[in-house]
Structure 1
Amino acid sequence: MSTHLKDTLDEVYTTFSSYPLPSEIDGCPCCVGKEDHYHIHSLPLRDLKDKELSKYAFKAMTTWGNVNDFKHFLPRILDLSACNELSVDLFVVLGKLEYGHWKTWPQNEQKAVVEFLKVWWEYAIKHTELLDFELLIELHKVLKQISEMLALWDLQPDKFGLLNFLTFIESYYPDMVDKEGENSDFSGEVVVDLKNWINSKKEDLENAFFKMEKENNDLAQRISKALYILEHT
């Protein structure tokens, strides 16, 4: 985890530290047992791991606890999610923000969440070799800032950003274009923004191809394939 990401995460912990852990959290007796209650009270917040927190993260506010309870655990849920250490699907984790009407929360809480999610995206796109593009999809649903997210995507040769861009073109772009926003993960307007940004990067791809042609033939071939897909999709 980078220093910048850690600092923004610390700010989330600080911002939500005003929500203490209640001695008891109401939960549906059919869904939440004594052992589950024990787990979330068994360790300090920053020491909770997937074993203790995953069930709560999945059931928060729907059948276990209220919004203030969720705010107590939110920093650790985001922490584990960003480190890929939480076994709860990202759409569930980030969907809890919408369920908890996070856009009505105090401005300092909203700001802390937004800043962390943006820095998380920037870190992931630059430092993850095989990025799961669910992160782009789900973060966009929360942030509604596709242009700002794309502006953070670095396509320098030999960087993970370029490799992730090639994977996106190979695995996601044709289907996205085919659906044109209908029944896709993005609205039609966002698909247009994505297509325009992607096509604006053709020159960067071409420059990367000529550089890698001499240094890394396998990567050069992937770049060539991506350019072909863009030209023929």
Structure 2
Amino acid sequence: MKLEEAIENLYQVFSKYTTSDMYYCDCGCIDENDVKKLASKKLRELGEDDFSSYHGSALYTWGDIEHYKHFLPRILEVHNEKNGKGLIGLFEIISKLEYAEWEKWESNEIKAIKDFIFADWNSFINKQNSEIGTDDIQYYSFFFKPENLFGIWDLTKNGNSFKNFVKFFYYNGTEIINKGLKIKDKIYDKEFLNLLNQSELLDKLEIEFFKADEVDKDYAEKISIVTQMIEQEKTVGNNVYKK
């Protein structure tokens, strides 16, 4: 499902939920101005600043699950717009979903969330200047197996996707090669290393290096180091490369 379709589907699936009878703690722990902000605009017009305070208190001292479901489509949409750089990250969203026992929700609601998250991951790896870290992969792996996430990280077609991979591997490749990628007490190595086996990856790195060397020396240096790391890994003869 394309991102735009996944977002519209979220709004449709959760449209039955409202802010009716929405309460909040009146002991002073919640700022009245934040309450006004949350009610100041239509759902699709709310910005992160309008609901960031609410999100921190949601389900605990501000509203219940039905109210959170009302705001969830906009929260997820803004998360995507911020491209991993917002105040409310996927970790915070996952914490709320777990607290709300989201896996017990209606099946179409669960599916709508998963469809969005998968489209959001695809958007994340293909957007310009995405800062992808191992923690991001861990968060997305809360919803999907790592091999499914890596399976759509195409390094042969999209320029942004390729550049994001170079930077990710430059900062995290050595640790992943040596120790694997730890997610929920399980070590994943081949699932990630299969990325390095994509067709003509080394040739593409070489071409990308010569292009970058003329305009972006820092990026070119990263490409050079990543190329050496991958060549060394292949020389070692990791089983993932054995035919």
TM-score bracket, normalised by the shorter chain, equals 0.7 to 0.9
**Distance in 1, Cα, partners of 2:203 & 2:39:** 55
Show the 5 A alignment for 1:82-231.
Answer: 82-84=80-82, 86-133=86-133, 134-141=135-142, 143-156=143-156, 159-180=159-180, 184=182, 187-195=185-193, 197-201=194-198, 204-212=200-208, 215-217=211-213, 218=217, 221-230=221-230, 231=232
**Distance in 1, Cα, partners of 2:206 & 2:76:** 40
Q: 1:153 to 1:128 in 2, by over 3 A?
A: same
Q: Return the match for 2:63 from 52, 62, 65.
A: 65
Q: Return the letter of the residue paired with 1:43.
A: K
Q: 1:5 to 1:144 in 2, by over 3 A?
A: closer
**Distance in 2, Cα, partners of 1:28 & 1:148:** 45
Quote how far apart the aligned CAs of 1:208 are: 0.6
Identical pairs, percent: 23
Q: Return the letter of the residue paired with 1:18.
A: K
Where in structure 2 are there 5+ consecutive unaligned residues? 237-243
Residue in 2 that maps onto 1:35: 33
Quote how far apart the aligned CAs of 1:180 are: 4.3
Aligned residues: 226
Contact persistence 2:132–2:164 (CA under 8 A): no
Quote how far apart the aligned CAs of 1:30 are: 4.1
Residue in 2 that maps onto 1:47: 45
Quote how far apart the aligned CAs of 1:40 are: 1.4
Contact persistence 2:13–2:109 (CA under 8 A): yes
CA displacement, residues 179-222 of structure 1 (integer Å, 9 cap, x when unaligned): 545xx556433344223x24424x53212134335544356653
Q: 1:127 to 1:89 in 2, by over 3 A?
A: closer
Quote how far apart the aligned CAs of 1:77 are: 0.5
Quote how far apart the aligned CAs of 1:129 are: 2.1
Contact persistence 1:5–1:120 (CA under 8 A): yes
Quote how far apart the aligned CAs of 1:26 are: 3.1
Q: 1:174 to 1:205 in 2, by over 3 A?
A: same
**Distance in 1, Cα, partners of 2:38 & 2:210:** 55
Contact persistence 2:13–2:108 (CA under 8 A): yes
Quote how far apart the aligned CAs of 1:78 are: 0.5
Quote how far apart the aligned CAs of 1:34 are: 2.3
Contact persistence 2:10–2:112 (CA under 8 A): yes
Q: Please tell me the root mean square deviation across aligned C-alpha atoms, in Å.
A: 2.6
**Distance in 2, Cα, partners of 1:135 & 1:119:** 15
Where in structure 1 are there 5+ consecutive unaligned residues? none
CA displacement, residues 125-169 of structure 1 (integer Å, 9 cap, x when unaligned): 11232333343331112x132111111111127711111111111
Determine which structure has the larger helix proportion and give its number: 1
Deviating more after overlay: 132-141 vs 121-130: 132-141
TM-score, normalisation: structure 1: 0.84
Deviating more after overlay: 58-67 vs 42-51: 58-67
SS of equivalent residue, structure 1 residue 189: strand
